[in-house]
Structure 1
Amino acid sequence: MEALKTLAVRRLPKLCQWISTEAAADLPARARSASCRSGLQAFAVALNKRLADDAARKNSNLIFSPVSVYAALSLVAAGGRGRTLSEMLGVLGAPSRDDLAGSVSALAEQALADRSQTGGPQLNFACGVWHDETRTLKPAYIDAVVKEYRAQTCAADFHRKPKEAAKQINEWVEESTNKLITDIIDHKTLTKAVDLVLANAIYFKGKWHHPFDKKDTKDDKFHRLDGSTVDVPFMRHSRSQRIACHDGFKVLQLPYKQDRPLPGQPQALYTMCVFLPDARDGLSRLTDRIASDLDFLGNHLPRGNVEVGDFRLPKFKLDFNTRLNGVLRGLGIIEAFKLGKADFSDMVADDGLHRSLALGEVIHKAVIEVNEEGTEAAAVTACFMFGSAGCRRPVLVDFVADHPFAFFVREELSGAILFAGHVLDPSTPKE
C-alpha cells in the first residue's frame, strides 16, 4: 500500500480507468487534476485487490463501488484531526481535507453528474449525515459536507426511537438508488453506541451505444474456477468491437450511449471495460498485475475497433454486501477505529460530557445488472460513528479522618517540610 501511495504522489494517475484515452484529453483540466489529486484510482485498485482476494477465497462474485466507499470515508475524514486524519488522508491519497473535499466535489460535478436529460446515462450521487439528537454537529463540519459533498444533514433519535431512525435512513437509500437497494441499516444496528451515520449512495443506468439483439442471446457453458461448468445466457455480436490483446489477457471496452452536453458543459464518456485472462484460472494473477501499477488499467485499454469472430459476453446480475472494517484496517486506517484514540473532534460539538467518537462499522452494499440493453447498478456505503458513554459522573471518594493520622506542613515550591506530626487523639491537648 505504501508503494501505491508513493506512486499516487509521484505519478498523477489518469482518469482513463473509466474513460478512453481520447476522452480524457477532452476533459477539463480541473476534472482531471481533481481526480488525480484525490487518489481515487490508487484507493480503487488497492480495495479491489483485497475484496477480490476475499471473494476468491469464498468462491463468490464481487461487485462494489470504489467511488461510494471513497466518498463515505471522505465524509468521515472531514471531521477528523491529528493522526486520525493523517491516516485517512494517506489511504485516500489526498494531502489535505480541503483537497479531498475539492476532489470529490469535482467528481460529483463532472464524472458523476446526471446525463439523462441530454441523452446520456442516468446518474445519482448523494451523501447523507444523520446524527443522534444528543450530538450536535459543528457548524464548520455542516458547512463542509453541505457545500463540498452536497450532503443532507438530519437529526434522528437513534437511542430512543431506533426503528424510526433506521426507516428514515433506509428511505433515503431507496430513493437515492432508484429502489435497487432498499436498506443499509437494521434498527438493531442502532445501539446506544451509535451517535452518527454517514452514508453515500450512487446509482447508474446506461444504455449501450450499440445494444445487443436479444434474439442472438443463447445459453452456453461458463467454466468455474473449480473446473465445473454452468449454462448461462451469453450476449453475442457480429460487429467490430473495441478490443485489445495483451500478454495473458484481453480487454473489451463497451461504450454507453453518450449525452449531448449543452454549450459550456463538460463532456463525459462512460464505458464498461472487461479484463479477460487467457487462462481459465488466471483471474487472480491478472488482479495482482492490475494492483501493481496505478496506470495499468489506462495503459491497456483498446486503441480502436477490431473485427470479431466468436464474441460472447454473459448476462449477469450480482449483489454484494460486506463489512469493510478489516479491509480498511489492512489499507492503513487504524486509529479511526479506536475509541479513545480516534480524533473526530471537528465533527461534533462538545456537549460538556467530553464524549469521543470513533469509526465503528463500515458497511457496503452494491448491485449490478448487465443485459442486452445496458447496465443498471447501485451502491451504498454507510459509516457508523460510535460514541463513548462519555465521562460519567465521577465516583465520590469518602475521606473520614476518625482515626489516627499523620500530617505535614510544607512549602510547595521548594518542597521543604515545615511541620510534620500525627494525631492520635484530637480531643485534648497532650503534654
Structure 2
Amino acid sequence: MAAATTAAADAAQDGQTPSLSASPSTSRPRLPPPPPPPTTTTTTSRSRRCPCTRAQLLAFLGAPSAEGLADFGRRVADRVLADRSDAGGPRVLFGGGVWVDAACGGLTDAFRDVAAEAYKSEARTVSFTDEWVKKATDNLIDSMISTDDINAATDLVLANAIYFKGDWMEPFQLQFTSPGTFHRLDGGHVELDFMEKYRRMDVACMDGFKVLKLPYKLGATPPAHGQLKRRRGQVDTKSKDMPSTEVNESTRYSMFVFLPDTRDGMATMVDVVTAAAAFMYSISAEMKLRDVDLKLPKFKITFNWGNLKETLCQLGLTLPFSPEAADLRGMCNGDEGDGKSRRTTFLSKVAHMAVVNVNEKGTEAGAVAFHVHGGSGPPPDLVEFTADHPFTFFIMEERSGVIVFVGHILDPTK
C-alpha cells in the first residue's frame, strides 16, 4: 500500500479532480467568505436558516447552475468513468450513495431521480443503525465509515468510491524490475522494487521538477449524452449533440508523474503546479519526445477518508454541515409546511475511497528494442527520470481534460 494524500488544491485545480477524483474535479474560483450563521440558534425553523447553501455549493464546484452540474456529471459518468475493460481499455469502477435518515422527511423524488440518472448513485431514505450500515449498503459504507460514526443523530451521509486499473500502452518488462531504495521526506528510506524502461517518451523538464507522461491502453467509447471540451484550462460543461466524429473516439487515459529535482522539493513543486488553474493543460504543450531512462516504484494506493467534513470546511464549504444554517430543501423534503414536526437536515458525513494499482502489467509487447548504454556514458539528450523520492501523479482522461485521480507518493510501501 502506498502512502497517498490527495492534494486538496490540485484535486480541485482542474480535473478531477482522484482523486482518485476521486470523483472528477474542475477548476473553481477562490471562494468568498461564507455568510455568517444566524445569531439565534435556539430554533431550527426554516425561516431562520441561511438561503445561501445552494449558491455556496455551486461556487465551490465552479458550476453555473445545478442543471449544468448534473449535465456535466452525466457526461463524465457516461464518457470518462465508464468501464472500458471489455474493449481493452482501463478498468474503471465507481459507485456513490446518498442516504438520509427517515426522521428528516426523506429525499425528494426529483433529487433521487437525478442522483440515479445523472450520477449513477443510489439515493435512499433509511433509519441509521449499525445493522443498516452492514446490510443495506452491501458493506460499501461499512468499509469506508466506522459504525461508531453513524448513529441515531446522523442525518445525511454522502459516499463515493472509485477504482482504476489500466494496462500501459507500452508495458514495463518484468525482467527489468529490480530492487532499489526510496528516500522519504523524513530522511528515512525503504527498499522496494522499481520498474524500469528506456525509450522515447513525452517529458517536460521544468524549473525544479520534471513531468513524464505514461499513456494507458486505449478503450472504445460508446455514444454519450454530450461533448466535453477543454477551453482555456476549463472543462466546458455546455451540453451539445455528440458529433459523429467523436462517437467512435476512444478514451485516452494517461498518468502524469511530477518528480521534483531534489528529494525535499515536493512542497515547492506543488505550489507551482497549483498556482495556475490551467497548469495541467498547459504542461502538455511543454512536453517533447525524448529518450528517457525511467525508474518508477511499483505501488498500490488504497485511499480511504471516512469523513471529509473538516477538509471541505477548510476549503470554504461550510453551510451544508451547519445544523443552524443548512438549507437542503431541494434535496430533502421540507421540515415545515405540512403540519408535521421533523428534524431539519444537515450533512453529517462525506466519505471517499479510491484505489489505484500501478505495476508492470500490460499487453504482451511485440518486438521491443531496449538500448543499454555503456562506455562513454549516456547521450546528451537523455532524461534520467528516477522516482526514488516523493512525487505526485495525476491520472487524466485527455480528450475531456477530466482529472480522475491525484496523489502524492510519500512511501510506496505503505
Q: TM-score w.r.t. structure 2 length?
A: 0.66
Question: Is the Cα contact below 8 Å between 2:157 and 2:347 reproduced in 1?
Answer: no
- For the residues of structure 2 that align with 1:93 and 1:369, how far apart are their CA atoms? 30
Q: Equivalences for 1:15-414 in 2 at 5 Å?
A: 45=10, 47=12, 64-68=19-23, 82-134=51-103, 135-158=105-128, 161-172=129-140, 183-261=143-221, 264-301=247-284, 303-308=287-292, 310-322=293-305, 323-350=307-334, 352-373=340-361
Distance between the aligned counterparts of 2:98 and 2:72, measured in 1?
19
Contact 2:77–2:118 under 8 Å retained in 1:
no
Determine if contact 2:160/2:353 at 8 Å carries over to the other structure.
no
1:116, CA displacement in angstroms?
1.5
> CA contact under 8 A between 1:217 and 1:236: conserved in structure 2?
yes
Deviations 1:298-345 (A, max 9, x none): 21236442112x421111123333332222112111222110211012
Deviation at 1:44, TM superposition (A): 5.8
Distance 1:163 1:185 in 2: 14
Q: Output the CA distance in 1 between the equivalents of 2:206 and 2:25.
A: 30
Higher helix fraction (1 or 2):
1
Contact 1:126 1:150 in 2 (8 A): yes
Q: Distance in 1 between matches of 2:139 and 2:188?
A: 41
1:46 deviates by 5.8
Larger relative contact order (CA 8 Å, sep ≥ 6): 2
Partners of 1:44 and 1:202 lie apart in 2 by 20
Q: Deviations over 1:71-96 (max 9, x none)?
A: 9xxxxxxxx98311111111111121
Cα shift at 1:170: 4.6
8 Å Cα contact 1:169-1:185 kept in structure 2: no
CA shift at 1:280, angstroms? 1.4
1:281 counterpart SS class: coil
Q: CA deviation at 1:266?
A: 4.2
Distance 2:79 2:50 in 1: 29
Equivalents in 1 of 2:187, 2:145: separation in Å? 37
SS of corresponding position for 1:95 = coil
Shift of 1:130: 2.6
Residue 147 of structure 1 and its aligned partner are, at CA, apart by 2.4
Q: How many residues align?
A: 305
Mark the runs of 5 or more structure 1 residues left unpaired by the alignment: 1-41, 50-62, 72-79, 174-181, 380-431
Separation (CA, whole Å) in 2 of partners of 1:218 and 1:154 = 49
Partners in 2 of 1:224 and 1:201 — Cα distance?
28
- Distance in 1 between the 2:25 and 2:130 partners? 27
| 8 Å Cα contact 2:92-2:164 kept in structure 1 | yes
How far apart are residue 261 of structure 1 and its match?
4.3
Amino acid across the alignment from 1:224: R
Indicate if the aligned counterparts of 2:180 and 2:192 stay in contact, CA closer than 8 A. Answer: yes
Does structure 2 conserve the Cα–Cα contact (< 8 Å) formed by 1:121 and 1:259? yes
- Aligned partners of 2:155 and 2:348 also within 8 Å: no
The answer on whether the counterparts of 1:129 and 1:154 sit within 8 Å (CA) in structure 2 is yes
**Paired residues of 1:253 and 1:272 also in contact (CA < 8 A):** yes
**TM-score with structure 1 length normalisation?**
0.64
Q: How much has 1:241 moved relative to structure 2? A: 1.9
Q: Report deviation, 1:258.
A: 0.5
Q: Which amino acid aligns with 1:171?
A: N
CA change 1:188–1:224 in 2 (3 A) is: closer
Local SS of the residue matching 2:182: strand
Shift in CA distance, 121/271, structure 1 to aligned 2, threshold 3 Å: same
